[in-house]
Amino acid sequence: MERQMTSSRSAIVIAASSDIGANLCKHWRGKGWKVAGTFRSASPNVEELQRTHNVELFPCDLLNPDSIKNSCSALANTCPNWDVLTFAPGLQDPIGFFEQVDFEKWEQGVNVNLLKPLEILHRLLPYRNREKKPTVLFFAGGGTNNAVVRYSSYTLSKIALIKMCELLDAEMPDTRFVIVGPGWVKTKIHVSTVNAKEAAGANFHRTLEKFQKGDWIPMEKVVECCTYLVTTPCDAISGRNFSVASDSWGTIDLEQALISNPEMYKLKRHLNDWEGT
């Protein structure tokens, strides 16, 4: 649900060639937004975004410092007053128990999912459109409410992003920071699990079942939720962690609940008020 005009906006999508990133680019271009972004390597998806949808894309390898610097410079020149900055990279590797995985690959996962996106954010924040209160959008993953074994690099990164949204919301009142869990969406990220049968454990079978039954969160619903979050005039969404599948996003009732409860949809200990006997 969008209650605000969505034309004349400028959006940047990091990892625009990802499944979710590409769909956001197409949807926002269809609304008349100016959209720019990054891609890791050339592909038919990248070519379609550039030629068919007129999305301005720049190469960016999140494990290459010079590539990050050059892409940020290009994005700053292309969108000097961006309204929306979205981060869509996702890497589940390495999959397996922490003590058994290659730590260098584990560290790379944290870099791709957490540290390098935050570096890009740091570089691009000076170019935000402060007059319209811009929005920064991240994507969360599983593990917020339980311990997801065998995916520690990915899970740690996503939980850290949830807390980072809270921190940035407290530090920068002129900008909104929000994170959303898309749920089980049919994207390339699940290939890592399918290719790691032994290391993935029970999640391997759960993922196969999703493919077999087609039991996915529709991409259209993810795009609709993301568009709502970056266009709603409700500032109370900032600093929160949303779920595409579980939350009543787009409703006045939810917005009023967020306004009345500043701790809602944030990382907290359970039973904080327990005193014992």
Specify the amino acid at residue 100: Q
Phi–psi pair at 128, nearest 5 degrees: -75, 155
All residues at 6 or more sequence positions from 275 whose CB lies less than 8 Å from its CB, including other chains: none
Q: DSSP 3-state assignment of 34?
A: strand
pLDDT value at residue 143: 74
pLDDT value at residue 277: 67
Q: Where are the beta strands (DSSP E) in the chain?
A: 10-14, 34-39, 56-59, 84-87, 135-139, 176-181, 241-243
Long-range contacts for 45-54 (Cβ within 8 Å, ≥24 apart)? 45/17, 46/16, 46/17, 48/22, 49/16, 49/17, 49/22, 49/25, 53/25, 53/26, 53/29, 54/29
CB 21 within 8 Å of CB 64? no
Q: What is the pTM of this model?
A: 0.94
Packing angle, helices 44-51 and 19-30, rounded to 10: 10
Burial of 212 (0-12, 13-18, 19+ CB in 10 A): exposed
Q: Over 50: is that where the pLDDT of 244 sits?
A: yes
Strand pairing class (241-243; 176-181):
parallel
Mean pLDDT of 222-228: 98
Q: How far apart are CA 28 and CA 10, in angstroms?
A: 9
Given pLDDT bands bounded at 50, 70 and 90, which one contains residue 268? confident
Mean pLDDT of 161-171: 98
Instruction: Locate the domains of the chain by residue range.
Output: 10-260
Helix (H) or strand (E) holding 208: helix 202-213
pLDDT value at residue 148: 84
Instruction: Identify the sign of the CA torsion 229, 232, 237, 239.
Output: positive
Q: How far apart are CA 43 and CA 46, in angstroms?
A: 5
- Note the Cα 256 to chain centre separation in Å: 24
Given pLDDT bands bounded at 50, 70 and 90, which one contains residue 3? very low
| CATH, domain 10-260, list 3.40.718.10, 3.10.450.50, 2.60.120.10, 3.40.50.720 | 3.40.50.720
Mean pLDDT of 126-155: 91
What is the 8-class DSSP label of residue 128?
Answer: B
Given pLDDT bands bounded at 50, 70 and 90, which one contains residue 24? very high
CB 29 within 8 Å of CB 53? yes
Q: Over 50: is that where the pLDDT of 4 sits?
A: no
Helices and strands of the chain, counted as H and E runs = 11, 7
Tell me which of 162-166, 208-212, 267-271 is least confident.
Answer: 267-271
pLDDT value at residue 146: 78
Given pLDDT bands bounded at 50, 70 and 90, which one contains residue 17? very high
Q: DSSP 3-state assignment of 116?
A: helix
pLDDT value at residue 275: 83
Q: Mind listing the pLDDT tens digit for each residue in 85-113?
A: 999 999 999 999 999 999 999 999 999 99
Q: Over 90: is that where the pLDDT of 276 sits?
A: no
CB 173 within 8 Å of CB 166? no
pLDDT value at residue 2: 46
Q: Mind listing the pLDDT tens digit for each residue in 35-66?
A: 999 999 999 989 999 999 999 999 999 999 99
